[in-house]
Structure 1
Amino acid sequence: MFELKASRVGNLKNDVLSGLTVALALVPEAVAFAFVAGVEPLVGLYAAFMVGLITSVFGGRPGMISGATGAMAVVMVSLVALHGVEYLFATVVLTGILQILAGIFGLGKFIRLVPHPVMLGFVNGLAIVIFLAQLGQFKVMDDGGNLVWMQGSQLFTMAGLIALTMAIIFFLPKLTRAVPSSLVAIVVVTVLAISMDLDARNVVDYVKDMTGNPEATIAGGLPTFSIPAVPFNLETLYIIFPFALVLAAIGLIESLLTLTLIDELTNTRGRGNKECVAQGMANTASGFFGAMGGCAMIGQSMINVNSGGRGRASGITAALALLAFILFASQWIEIIPLAALVGVMFIVVIGTFEWSSFRIMRKVPKADAFVIVLVSGVTVATDLAVAVVVGVIVSALVFAWEHAKHVIVERSKNDQGSTVYQVNGPLFFGSVTHFLDQFDMDNDSDDVIVDFKNSRVADHSAIEAIDTLAERYTGRGKTLHLVHLNQECKQLLAKAGDLVEVNVIEDPNYHVATDKLA
């Protein structure tokens, strides 16, 4: 089950070293995503540890890294603002239960229905959402207890430190990749801010403003088990269920999309349903241990794979190393300037956004370009789950519209004088009208043959169209022969059943996608 591959020392060594690298890079991102969700930084760090550990042990994709993510954090922030952090923990528990059920019922396979334009759109929309969330870090508390935009030297200092952070992250990998550039940037900016006594807000300042407690600090203990302090009634369920449903969908969509990406990079195949269950277990445990939950992280997973991490040991090492940071080095997190975290997040935004979508916009079909823009906009306006569902529906409707005229009926006559119609292409709800319009019933001979050998009867609308065709011909007193229909079609045809000619050798045996068969 663990697939540590300990017998192959080289692989285990790569996993451990890669895991340590990922753990170092996880610290600033987990804290930053906690800020996005409106909770204390330690809540994000606990999530990175718990979600990362559980999914690494039980998940369906070795080498994939999970933790607190921006996609889920942007949904959590409104819940925390309206109802408080305890309701967040209850929501995360329910989120995990929904994800476990999704895995048990085998819903992971449906990620294959997400078209590439939808993936581009959700990635771009996610990058925009993360960027907009960072703008809140440019606000400070005034004497009246209100949040106002930074001004003067404080604003210039913030902007300068952000620029320095981004420059280090961008240029350092060109010199060395021995250590994560984001961690180096945070250390350099922190040392610079302290040594020069710059007027730069740090993590503790943000926690004090967020909690309203001038004595607030960051504790560095182990996460403790506790049942969320919320009323266990229908009113609570009414509050948390919509958020839990959205979070479950977002978490599974991002996790399964990341799983697909890692599959392509490693030329292996993960188990989607098993990953759904593992993500659910991780989020359920997170809610009971005071963590914000999470899902797979595209950026950290890429770091892990590119650093040589392939097995479960890489994710386990990253999680345990992160816990060590929480227990023994949490006091160092307090002095990190907010500008450094914002700089890290801006780099994440730049790396997440698919800039190539601008270049390909004129090359792809207009419908695909529209889907990319639509999904990006819906992601920003609502959330990731709604955006992906909307994108899939629009893409499916576009596909149906484009293929509605792909069913071609060729008319000819055989040696016996019968009119023969050869049906080519899929027959489904979108093409039935065009299918019926191609028959010249008044001018056909008294004996008509319709051959479905090169056609695929896809749904119940197609079956109704065949029945309608039979009714029209019999109403004109003409004999109709339906050949090469599959067995399921023959059983479902209400009016044309007696007109079907059976050919045991040549008749197809595919199944019709219709509710009548259920």
Structure 2
Amino acid sequence: MKPTGRFKGYTMIAFRKDLVSGLIVGVIAIPLGMAFAIASGVKPEYGIYTTIVAGILISLLGGSKFQIGGPTGAFIPVLLAIVLQYGYENLLIAGFLAGILLVLMGIFRLGTLIRFIPKPVTIGFTAGIAIIIFSGQIANFLGLRDIAKHEDFFSNMKEIAIHLPTFNGYSILTACICLVILLLCSRFTPKIPGALIGLIVSSVVATLLFNGEVATIASTFGPIPNTLPHFQWPSLTWEKIEMMLIPACIIAMLGGVESLLSALVADEMTGTRHNSNRELIGQGIANMVTPLFGGIPATGAIARTATNIKNGAVSPMSGIIHGFIVLLVLLLLAPYASLIPLASMAPILMMVAWNMSERKEFVRILKTKTNDSIILLVTFLLTVFTTLTIAVGIGLILSVLWFVKRMSDLNTVYEMPSNHSAKQVKVKALMDADSRELHHMNIYTIEGPLFFGTALPLEESILGNLHHKSKILLLQMGKVPYIDTTGAAHLDRLIGHVVKSGGVVLLSEIGQQPLSILERTGLLQRVGRDHVFGHTSEAIEFAIKRPARIRYAESTAMK
């Protein structure tokens, strides 16, 4: 049987390429998985479990050929807040519910909608998350003792300031060794996984020279088991579902955005095209299964996906291999991973925060000094000082309000146009030839979408300029690309006003979507189909040759 789909034409040469890229990404994913788990307030092994289970399922079931899934930095502040407020067990329930929501989003084809979140909002909350991640590693970098974690930024900064006298010189030296290696590798040997080299070298130095002086994974969280946890179904109750539904929505929203952004990056790097809805379904299934093995929520990891592509990956097999590599390391090397100092992991997460901060794009948007700059700053500050939910919600509301304002400014209405394009020549000729007969006629051209943000001003503009003696109102609507039900309602009121004054309304050049809305709302039937024309000249000829007949009045009189 021949392979189909994303594995169609798959060969041993392609497998060798996927094996190399999967091995490299798997090695990189190990320290990151543990670091993200610790920063999220859970044990490091849960990050490894997530990398294995979610990494394999996202590659196997997702909509991108090159996506690498697992725990990511974007989730850290969200998951930490959930753990602090609800506990680890309820985090698993939230992750499971988020998986269900992601599957539903994919089934109902909402993948393309998530991509329409404005860039100032995504850059704002990404930069805010980077600040939270970076600041959250200061305590481990300095080796501070007795640090309590809090949900808000101010409390965490106050905690660090209070405990600064407890700094550990050995921890600082260990962290600096790892940081120097990270910087050197990124500058001179970018293909070598600096995070892994830095982690190993600094851990060896700390073990040999500062043994017992620096906090390690084992001394803080206990030794890492070298097996996967047993399958365990979460204890779901209706009360827990209600309690964790909002956190689950946040995880699903952030996971969906992050995974699709990562898939878009992969598309740009490879010239391919991912399936957004399939990606959401794959992410959803992975997040439903991962909590059953003790794993935390996962999504597409942009940096690891890019690394996967740069190292020659050709299919989802590389992501599957990366998951099995991590599993193999867990089974064979877990006791050694337990010796890693927390100070060695701090610089890794700080570099992750620095790389994900989108600092260049942040500054570029700020320099535009537009409404987008305000949206960016508001989203950023709210992410740092409140919660991601509030930040994204306010950012989206501001974006919608300013979008409506811009559309309203672009929307125009004017009487018979003075500029005579080719298609208007016949209209003008008719107007000039029959000026006496048409003195009772007003012609208005509407340009722009007619929706809830623009309909009322347009209605008021036309009513305010109508001549009282006019018996016919002709609306040219060839440049109206879209009408919603609110726009149709205001158009209904305008027509009703004209009819009550003894006039009649004609429509010309109306497009397919507006015509469909008028038909569905019943407005087309009330206007009269014989009062709707394909061209303005036809409407004028109708007005000249036939007396105005008020077809709308009979229907509106019943209201």
The whole-number CA distance in structure 1 between the counterparts of 2:48 and 2:297 is 10
* 1:434 equivalent in alignment to 2:434: no
Structure with bigger helix share is 2
Query: Cα distance, 1:478 vs. partner?
Result: 3.2
In structure 2, the residue corresponding to 1:421 is in which secondary structure? strand
Corresponding residue number in structure 1 for 2:169: 156
Describe the shift of the 1:139–1:235 C-alpha distance in structure 2 as closer, same or farther (beyond 3 A): farther
TM-score, length-normalised on structure 1? 0.87
Which residue of structure 1 aligns with residue 135 of structure 2?
132
User: 1:307: Cα distance to partner?
Assistant: 1.9
Name which of 179, 184, 188 aligns with 1:171: 184
Query: Partners in 2 of 1:422 and 1:78 — Cα distance?
Result: 54
Q: Which moved more, 1:356-365 or 1:34-43?
A: 356-365
Q: Following TM superposition, by how much is the alpha carbon of 1:260 offset from its aligned partner in structure 2, in angstroms?
A: 2.0
Q: Which structure has the greater CA radius of gyration? A: 2
Deviations 1:465-487 (A, max 9, x none): 22222222233333432223325
From the superposition, tell whether residues 285 and 82 of structure 1 become closer, same or farther in structure 2 (CA, over 3 Å). Answer: same
Deviation at residue 13 of structure 1 after TM alignment: 2.3
Q: Please, which moves more after superposition, 319-328 or 475-484?
A: 475-484
Q: How far off is 1:284 after superposition? A: 1.6
% identity of equivalent residues: 26
1-side partners of 2:412 and 2:146: how far apart?
A: 69
Q: Distance in 1 between matches of 2:86 and 2:451?
A: 48
Tell me how large the CA RMSD over aligned residues is: 2.7
Deviates more, 1:168-177 or 1:267-276: 168-177
Q: Distance in 2 between matches of 1:42 and 1:459?
A: 52
Output the TM-score relative to the length of structure 2: 0.81
1:272 aligns with 2:279: no
Deviates more, 1:310-319 or 1:409-418: 409-418
Bigger RCO of structures 1 and 2 (CA < 8 A, at least 6 apart): 1
Alignment match, 2:206: 193
Give the drift of 1:443. Answer: 5.5
1:298 is matched with which residue: 296, 302, 307? 302
Q: Distance in 1 between matches of 2:24 and 2:184?
A: 18
Residues 273 and 385 of structure 1, relative CA distance in 2, 3 Å threshold: farther
C-alpha contact (below 8 Å) 1:37/1:77 kept by paired residues = yes
Q: Which residue of 1 aligns with 2:505?
A: 480
- Aligned-pair CA distance for 1:35: 0.8
* Structure 1: distance between partners of 2:522 and 2:192: 68
Q: Which one-letter code corresponds to 1:35 in the other structure?
A: I
Distance in 2 separating the partners of 1:6 and 1:167: 44
Point out the more displaced range, 476-485 or 152-161: 152-161
Q: CA deviation at 1:341?
A: 0.5
Residue type of the alignment partner of 1:319: G
The question of 1:342 aligning with 2:346 is answered yes
Rounded Cα–Cα distance in structure 2 between residues aligned with 1:381 and 1:476: 57
Distance in 2, matches of 1:494 and 1:104, equals 34
The 10-residue stretch of structure 1 (218-227 or 485-494) with the greater mean CA deviation from structure 2:
485-494
Aligned residues of 2:413 and 2:444 also touching (Cα < 8 A)? yes
Q: Which runs of 5+ in 1 are unaligned?
A: 208-215, 508-518
- Structure 1 Cα separation of the partners of residues 411 and 489 of structure 2: 16
Q: How much has 1:234 moved relative to structure 2?
A: 2.8
Match of 2:239 among 224, 235, 238: 235
How many residue pairs match? The answer is 493
Displacement of 1:97 in angstroms is: 2.0
1:220 aligns with 2:226: yes
Matching of residues 104-503 of structure 1 within 5 Å = 104-137=107-140, 138-141=143-146, 154-197=167-210, 199-207=213-221, 216-228=222-234, 230=235, 232-384=236-388, 386-412=390-416, 414-415=431-432, 416=434, 417=438, 418-439=441-462, 440-442=465-467, 445-485=470-510, 486-490=515-519, 492=521, 494=523, 497-498=526-527, 501-502=530-531
- In structure 2, runs of 5+ residues without a counterpart are 148-158, 417-427, 537-559
Q: Tell me, yes or no, if the aligned pair for 1:464 and 1:493 is still in contact at 8 Å.
A: no
- Please give the alpha-carbon distance, in whole angstroms, between the structure 2 residues aligned to 1:23 and 1:233: 36
Give the Å deviation of 1:4: 4.2
Give, in whole Å, the separation in 2 of the partners of 1:172 and 1:455. Answer: 56
Q: One-letter code of the match for 1:106? A: R
Q: CA deviation at 1:117?
A: 1.6
**Cα distance, 1:189 vs. partner?**
0.8
Contact residue 420 and residue 448 of structure 1 kept, 8 A: yes
Q: Does 2:53 correspond to 1:50?
A: yes
Cα distance change, pair 14–455 in 1 and its aligned pair in 2 (3 A): same
Paired with 2:522 and 2:408, the residues of 1 have a C-alpha distance of 22
Evaluate the alpha carbon distance shift between residue 88 and residue 478 of structure 1 in structure 2; reply closer, same or farther with a 3 A threshold.
closer
Mean CA deviation greater in 30-39 or 161-170: 161-170
Alpha-carbon separation, structure 1, partners of 2:461 and 2:165: 74
Tell me, what secondary structure is at the counterpart of 2:368? coil
Moved more, 179-188 or 448-457: 448-457
